[in-house]
Chain A
């Protein structure tokens, strides 16, 4: 692969400049709306600047563009540069990130228009785009880690954006801390890799160098294959944090506490796909360690089924979409685990479109009802907010996997690759998940838009600044599937037609159709009530999300809280530091003074006696040394 210099810095600078300007002047800005236009323009500039680079790569897919911004530091004899690179993988990702971000910025103009901290919101969004672009354009894992941490920070800031409500800031903390667990695994994997590589003269951490030399280098040292597998697994565990896979997915549903555009941008379309992107980036590592692919495929399968089941019984429109996101991220990792990361990447792209669309539509519904999120309090909205209804329908059919919409192509492709990888049980589960996906989306769609209105509400259609971005995303989610072949060719996968049995090939579609039918049938009120009466314990377990939060609470949070309270707080802080060191030293000198002050009794002859005795003993001592 040959590298060419290309100025990539202009792609990441505009959002940073936007953030700095808005953050510094956020309190003094008079024309708030113009500040927000500036934020949108910054992201649009990123998109525009990335287009020529994209065409350069599109014309010659074998080259990669690179810019060394500045030399950073030395690590074990290897120079780490802060450098950016763009190849076919990151070119696609940059377009998705900047494009979807731009649309959601526009949407936020309408959605956040009434918020009093409008400017702060846009400054965070811009900062997020900046870090996400660093993550995507990073030319080595260390620069990638900068972006990785940065997007985590922005996620935290935006989940807790309405910090006056304690639940929101708690959700932000939960997301941040859970992500830190994943990040620690990422670092462990990276350090393992670096320490194993450090015995080689002239090693580098550039992805291009690693891709060509990592496996051959490590196979020379004893135990190298184990280190390879171990670091691959640790990095995947890092990805489970950011990309919300089992067992670290618990933060994502809570993250819905943030404003809806944030849920759409960060917690559906872009940031949560960072783990998928990272694993695709390092795919050469995973290819060399098949055991890690096995772990990925099993984790992904478990996650996608589990999240889909939970989504079936949620009441909050955003929680349904959150669990759906977890499930779809599971699909992406299934594609990676099956060994065809291009499939995962295609699903990443289509999912970014239709899930962003669904979230924005949900936001539009919530906005029109003035903040209601419970789907059972909605109903009959199809006539009242017609545009939102139609746009949601596009997203609903796309995620359900109905041809010729995009979700059908990407999901089908992944399920086919799983079949080809020989994991028949997992293939069955993924088909089942396709059905469940169709079911819970239909359930939501029917209850919100079609069923009878539940309460007196006066919904109003959202402004055009919210509808246009949704319309563009709808077009993309409907038609992007048709470009599957070009997409795969661009990523270097030319054989996309697989020989598999007819029944196996059509099973996902059949499953989706059954799911949709079930969604319409089982949401009739008497039937759902009948099932609830029939299986109360199952319903309880599922609607309590398999008690995973409670298990974490019992296994990790409470022991930690107990240890912090009884040991760190009571013993170390209160007893050792406060009582002994601080209060103890004061009390010691107070007591000392209490006794010593008796010496100073004001009696002159007592002083004189001490004087004489001291002189006598001094003389005695002096006599002793002289004689």
Chain B
């Protein structure tokens, strides 16, 4: 029997979305995004096992690369934001509004 990774992926993504919506710390929110990305990777792994195909596994590797790049850019942004605003609370950083 093959394990149903799709269910795990759903739980993981829900947790990541909930954290992203609830928490106000930008650093935590960035971590939640990483979690969501990994949830997508798990879904891809599920279809690779189910259909016995290699292509989704290649896509997972690709996700890792994207997540690494994104983390690098995101952390760099966070560093600059914290320097400028002296805080990482999202509610206090709202300069760009109509």
User: A residues bordering B, Cβ < 8 Å?
Assistant: 596-605, 608-609, 612
Contact = CB atoms under 8 A, between A and B. Distances in A.
B91 A608 contact: no
A608 B29 CA distance: 10
Contacts, number: 35
A603 B91 contact: yes
Interface string B78-98: 000000000000110111111
B98 A597 contact: yes
Nearest to B91: A603
B21 interface: yes
Interface string B16-49: 0100110010100100000000000000000000
Contact of A605 (B24, B95, B96, B97): B24
A600 B96 CA distance: 8
Contact of B98 (A599, A604, A605, A612): A599
Cβ-closest 5 pairs across A and B:
A602-B94, A602-B97, A597-B98, A600-B98, A604-B90
A601 B91 CA distance: 11
A608 B26 CA distance: 12
A342 to B, nearest CB: 87
Contact of B96 (A596, A602, A608, A612): A602
B95 to A, nearest CB: 7
A604 B30 CA distance: 12
Nearest to B93: A604
A602 B95 contact: yes
Nearest to B90: A604
A527 to B, nearest CB: 91
Interface in B54-97: 90-91, 93-97
A596 B96 CA distance: 15
Contacts of B26: 604
Given A603-B91, A604-B90, A605-B90, A612 B21 contact: yes
Interface centre among B17, B24, B26, B95 (most CB of A within 10 A): B17
A601 B98 contact: yes
Interface centre among A608, A609, A612 (most CB of B within 10 A): A608
B68 to A, nearest CB: 22
Nearest to A604: B90
Contacts of A600: 96-98
A605 B94 contact: no
A612 B90 CA distance: 17
Nearest to A612: B17
B12 to A, nearest CB: 15
Contacts of A598: 98
13 contacts: A598-B98, A600-B98, A602-B96, A602-B97, A603-B90, A603-B91, A603-B94, A604-B90, A605-B90, A608-B20, A608-B21, A608-B29, A612-B21
A608 B24 CA distance: 11
B19 to A, nearest CB: 11
A603 B96 CA distance: 9
A598 B98 CA distance: 7
A597 to B, nearest CB: 3
Nearest to B89: A604
